[in-house]
């Protein structure tokens, strides 16, 4: 079901909370919840004509031509038949209506297909086949393997042990990797027993319908007990059941209330500068038309007053108009009708045709096709092509966009000692090359053969039984969300949600700590050939605010341990004071790793007493069962346990640059396009990648680094940067003179032109949060826009969007955002043009984007070739279109001086009618579709070309 085909269910739900009782339709009907019928179509047979006409008359041009048609029905002022206007108007209306009707027919077909799917519903104690549209909240339904989930369900039981089931969420977020869901233990005991399921009378009290796919808050009341519900207990409409024979679920949200449909509304409509220009031009041309009408009307009044009476002998009037002023008034409206072709009715249709053609050219471009992924470029919004030729700022994610997001475990620091470098016989560090001998993992039959590591001392430490090294890899094998699948004996397949996790678990696997399997209560690891099963007591989830993940496990000998991995800045704040020396040493290693462009994580653990854990677990359960502010309570509970930890070490993962990134960035920079990198990585890693792709160079005049902790410090650093920038070029050391200069420059947006030399700005997330506050944002954007390169580190998804909005607001520039993950969606939607890269992090960014392709390097061709062509073609098309209409119309204006301003026409009426829509349509369309401003190879080799936009 293509949920994004229509408006879906819009608006904020009026419900404060939802209360659904299982197997009790009478109780649930009192709340008048929506059934499972969905409607994405806009029209039906009765409403199509009035609604579609109303929509089309929303366009000013269409309303204007309707006004003309009414004027032409007045015989006293019309020298043209009504069909000269109604024929082109009907052609345009018919084309648009046919397009809208065709689109809506597909929606109706899709709706009917989905609404009439069959579901097994528990009715009167037995399973019966029902259409999807008849399913209601409170119904218990059965799903079988490889079937779509009919509505948003609370999972009750399944064929798998412990109430587990596996789902694919490709329809929701584009990700094809399997995700696990687990029923509550009390409901999983119901199993497939139809009688017990029919007697199930639990009441679910939960949040009202909303569009948040990754969260759910609710409580199940059953048998005088209350059980916490979260997203891990839910199966959402649009998912597909996989690797699970059957499962039963209770419908919570149906039809328009489901999260899929709540997300199916239209995204924010994006308009191009050409659209705004066309509207402005139409108003100016209409004004010009009125001026011509007034001039000719005045001429008619003068002519009628002086010589018009002598012509009545030859041109007999049925009814004489004695007043020359009234004659001029009538003539004004007559000329408004005759000269109407200066405002072209076919302009908007022609523009849409040209844009559609440009979109197909991008889709068909083989040079933007990625054979490795079998992924072509795709235009998802056809109305923005010419805007590609006017881009001034590009905002890019780093991981998976500039880099490959294919992670390999490269180095690590354990208990103050680094591993991963190779040394020669004299103890000197040597470069790893093809001749370097990798570590032999043949002792481990389950090792991943693709994994390579070159420091033999690490494997020796493991074989010698170094306790800290063992604990390090034990943590990597336990603290993750990876799912394992053993297809054949000795063949382990890992299903990973993050490439980082996959790299770390694979490293632990090769070094002898093999993650084998997991259940909701246990994790099984093979440690140096010995199978060990840990009791899984709690998982403390990772999110963008916490930036860490923890698990609490109990070893076979009864010891309770917390294992944590996360960003070093977050983890170091939560270490026991006794770790001071080790933390200092590990920090040095982290800086060294980040300097090489490696992604780093810190690892820590904590031994827990049984009493301490039980006390804390009560707090966790209370937080889990609270309906209000559950996330805040959970965050507080996590903070309580994740403190006074012992540092183990750090990991360093390599993420290589994508092919062609350096050349692409160089070409875009020469085209005077500024590139900002917004990344969640630490400063050193981001800067190293900046040097790798030549965004940062040693020849730059200055690289400003803003890494302060207070607003005053950030202000001071930005002020120093401004003084340095202007001091180099204008010797404006005096602060007052500087401020005056800034004020003068704000209006004409030439501030960056007053700066000579190349500068870069690097700012971390904490400083950026302060810089984005009202009183500092002006100073930040002024400094940043004067720099050639800007790198923002440790930023949150919200901050990415805020930075884009800031530049749009202050610079009035056309912006482009490009990313590959769910954390880039807000940035992609905020920019004028959003580009999604179909990478390793799923398809969420692609689904939210206007354009998509497989690799960053295709951005060069999209902007410098297709963007340039589209912009040139559209500009020339508009000039040509208005030229031919003016040339056609001004003949009548000029003829007015020779026909006594009598509103007579030079051309035949049918010629006037068909001029724009038949006779003169193909030449302008052909030029708008196929004209090339410069040769293709020149477009690639002359990056200064796109400056035409300025």
Residues catalogued as catalytic:
397
Question: Measuring CA to CA, which residue among 323, 36, 345, 27 is closest to residue 202?
Answer: 27
Distance separating alpha carbons of residues 293 and 301, to the nearest angstrom: 12
DSSP 867: I
CB burial class (10 A; 0-12, 13-18, 19+) of residue 140?
A: buried
Distance separating alpha carbons of residues 727 and 732, to the nearest angstrom: 5
Count, in order, helices (H) and strands (E) of the chain: 32, 35
Distance separating alpha carbons of residues 833 and 381, to the nearest angstrom: 9
Question: Measuring CA to CA, which residue among 119, 44, 659, 77 is closest to residue 404?
Answer: 659
Q: Give Cα separations from 761 to 717, 767, 779 (angstroms).
A: 11, 12, 13
Distance separating alpha carbons of residues 278 and 760, to the nearest angstrom: 38
Distance separating alpha carbons of residues 317 and 310, to the nearest angstrom: 12
Q: Mark 668-697 as b/e (b = at least 16 C-beta within 10 Å).
A: bbebebbbbbbbbbbbbbbbbbbebbebbe
3-state secondary structure of 586: helix
- Within a 13 Å sphere around the CA of 840, how many CA atoms are in the beta-carbon half? 21
Residue where the block lists tokens 């034990």: 474
Distance separating alpha carbons of residues 242 and 166, to the nearest angstrom: 5
Distance separating alpha carbons of residues 617 and 871, to the nearest angstrom: 61
3-state secondary structure of 249: strand
Distance separating alpha carbons of residues 241 and 150, to the nearest angstrom: 11
Question: Measuring CA to CA, which residue among 672, 660, 696 is closest to residue 853?
Answer: 660
CB 890 within 8 A of CB 288: no
Distance separating alpha carbons of residues 918 and 441, to the nearest angstrom: 74
Question: Measuring CA to CA, which residue among 867, 809, 871, 886 is closest to residue 281?
Answer: 886
Instruction: Give the Cα-Cα-Cα angle 510, 511, 513 (nearest 5 degrees).
Output: 90
Q: Give Cα separations from 219 to 30, 51, 197, 207 (angstroms).
A: 20, 44, 19, 10
Distance separating alpha carbons of residues 85 and 74, to the nearest angstrom: 14
Distance separating alpha carbons of residues 588 and 267, to the nearest angstrom: 46
3-state secondary structure of 169: coil
Distance separating alpha carbons of residues 537 and 731, to the nearest angstrom: 65
Distance separating alpha carbons of residues 543 and 546, to the nearest angstrom: 5
DSSP per-residue codes, 801-866 = HHHHHHHHHHH---EEEEESSGGGHHHHHHSSEEEEE-BTTBSHHHHT-SEEES-TTHHHHIIIII
Distance separating alpha carbons of residues 948 and 872, to the nearest angstrom: 9
* Alpha helices (H) in 377-498, listed in sequence order: 456-463, 467-478
Question: Measuring CA to CA, which residue among 811, 771, 948, 939 is closest to residue 864?
Answer: 939
């Amino acid at each position: 079901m293509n949920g994004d085909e229509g408006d879906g269910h819009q608006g904020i739900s009026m419900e404060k909370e939802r209360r659904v009782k299982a197997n009790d339709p009478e109780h649930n009907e009192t709340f008048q919840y929506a059934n499972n019928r969905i409607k994405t179509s806009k029209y039906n047979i009765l409403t199509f004509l009035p609604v579609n006409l109303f929509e089309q008359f929303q366009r000013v041009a269409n309303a204007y031509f309707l006004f003309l048609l009414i004027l032409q029905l007045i015989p006293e002022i019309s020298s043209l038949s009504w069909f000269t206007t109604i024929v082109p108007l009907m052609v345009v209306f018919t084309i648009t209506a046919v397009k809208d009707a065709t689109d809506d027919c597909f929606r109706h077909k899709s709706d009917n297909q989905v609404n009439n799917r069959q579901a097994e519903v528990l009715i009167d104690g037995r399973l019966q086949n029902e259409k999807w549209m008849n399913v209601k909240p409170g119904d218990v339904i059965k799903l079988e393997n490889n079937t779509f989930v009919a509505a948003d369900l609370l999972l009750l039981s399944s064929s798998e042990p412990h109430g587990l089931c596996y789902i694919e969420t490709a329809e929701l977020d584009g990700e094809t990797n399997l995700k696990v869901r687990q029923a509550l233990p009390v409901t999983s005991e119901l199993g497939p027993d139809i009688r017990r399921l029919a007697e199930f009378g639990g009441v679910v009290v939960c949040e009202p319908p909303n569009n948040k796919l990754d969260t759910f808050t609710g409580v199940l009341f059953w048998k005088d007990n209350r059980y916490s519900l979260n997203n891990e207990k839910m199966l959402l409409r649009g998912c597909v059941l996989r690797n699970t024979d059957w499962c039963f679920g209770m419908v919570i949200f149906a039809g328009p209330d489901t999260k899929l449909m709540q997300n199916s509304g239209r995204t924010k409509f994006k308009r191009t500068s050409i659209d705004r220009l066309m509207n402005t031009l139409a108003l100016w041309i209409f004004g010009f038309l009125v001026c011509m009408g007034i001039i000719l009307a005045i001429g008619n009044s003068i002519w009628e007053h002086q010589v018009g009476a002598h012509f009545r002998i030859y041109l007999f009037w049925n009814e004489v108009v004695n007043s020359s002023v009234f004659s001029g008034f009538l003539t004004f409206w007559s000329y408004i009708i005759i000269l109407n072709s200066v405002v072209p009715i076919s302009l908007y249709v022609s523009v849409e045709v040209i844009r559609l053609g440009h979109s197909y050219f991008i889709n068909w471009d083989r040079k933007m096709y990625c054979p490795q992924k079998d992924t072509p470029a795709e235009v998802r919004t056809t109305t923005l092509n010419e805007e590609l030729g006017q881009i001034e700022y590009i905002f890019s994610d780093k991981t998976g966009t500039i880099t490959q997001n294919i992670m390999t475990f490269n180095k690590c620091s354990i208990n103050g000692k680094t591993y991963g470098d190779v040394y020669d016989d004299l103890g000197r560090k040597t470069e790893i090359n093809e001749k370097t001998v990798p570590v032999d993992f043949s002792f481990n039959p389950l090792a991943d053969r693709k994994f390579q590591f070159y420091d033999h001392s690490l494997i020796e430490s493991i074989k010698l039984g170094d306790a800290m090294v063992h604990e390090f890899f034990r943590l990597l094998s336990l603290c993750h969300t990876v799912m394992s699948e053993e297809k054949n004996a000795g063949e382990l397949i890992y299903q990973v949600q993050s490439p980082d996790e996959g790299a770390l678990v694979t490293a632990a696997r090769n070094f002898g700590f093999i993650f084998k399997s997991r259940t909701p209560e246990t994790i099984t690891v093979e440690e140096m050939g010995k199978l060990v099963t840990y009791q899984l007591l709690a998982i403390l989830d990772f999110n963008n605010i916490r930036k860490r993940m923890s698990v609490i496990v109990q070893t076979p000998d009864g010891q309770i341990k917390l294992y944590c991995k996360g960003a070093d800045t977050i983890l170091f704040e939560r270490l026991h004071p006794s770790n001071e020396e080790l933390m200092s040493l590990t920090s040095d290693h982290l800086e060294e790793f980040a300097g090489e462009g490696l992604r780093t994580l810190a690892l820590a653990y904590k031994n827990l007493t049984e009493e301490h854990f039980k006390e804390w677990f009560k707090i966790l359960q209370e937080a889990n069962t609270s309906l209000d502010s559950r996330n805040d309570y959970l965050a507080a509970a996590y903070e309580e346990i994740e403190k006074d930890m012992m540092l183990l070490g750090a990991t360093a993962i390599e993420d290589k640059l994508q092919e062609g990134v350096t050349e692409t960035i160089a070409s875009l920079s020469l085209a005077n396009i500024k590139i900002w990198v917004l990344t969640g990585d630490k400063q050193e890693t981001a800067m190293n990648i900046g040097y790798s792709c030549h965004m940062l160079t040693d020849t730059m005049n200055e690289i400003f680094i803003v890494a302060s902790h207070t607003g005053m410090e950030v202000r001071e650093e930005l002020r120093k940067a401004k003084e340095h920038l202007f001091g180099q070029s204008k010797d404006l050391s005096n602060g007052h003179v500087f401020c005056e200069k800034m004020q003068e420059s704000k209006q004409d947006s030439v501030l960056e032109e007053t700066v000579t030399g190349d500068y870069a700005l690097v700012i971390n997330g904490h400083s950026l949060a302060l810089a984005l506050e009202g009183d500092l944002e002006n100073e930040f954007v002024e400094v940043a826009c004067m720099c050639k390169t800007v790198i923002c580190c440790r930023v949150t998804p919200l901050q990415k969007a805020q930075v884009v909005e800031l530049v749009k607001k202050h610079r009035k520039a056309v912006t482009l955002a490009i990313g590959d993950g769910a954390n880039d969606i807000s940035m992609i939607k905020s920019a004028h043009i959003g580009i999604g890269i179909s990478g390793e992090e799923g398809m969420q960014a692609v689904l939210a984007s206007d354009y998509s392709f497989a690799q960053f390097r295709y951005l060069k061709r999209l902007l410098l070739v297709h963007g340039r062509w589209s912009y040139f073609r559209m500009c020339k098309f508009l000039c040509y279109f208005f030229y031919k209409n003016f040339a056609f119309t001004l003949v009548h204006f000029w003829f007015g001086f020779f026909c006594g301003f009598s509103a007579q026409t030079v051309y035949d009426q049918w010629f006037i009618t068909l001029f724009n829509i038949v006779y003169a349509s193909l030449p302008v369309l052909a030029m708008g579709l196929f004209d090339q401003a410069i040769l293709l190879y020149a477009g690639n080799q002359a990056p200064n070309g796109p400056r035409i936009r300025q």
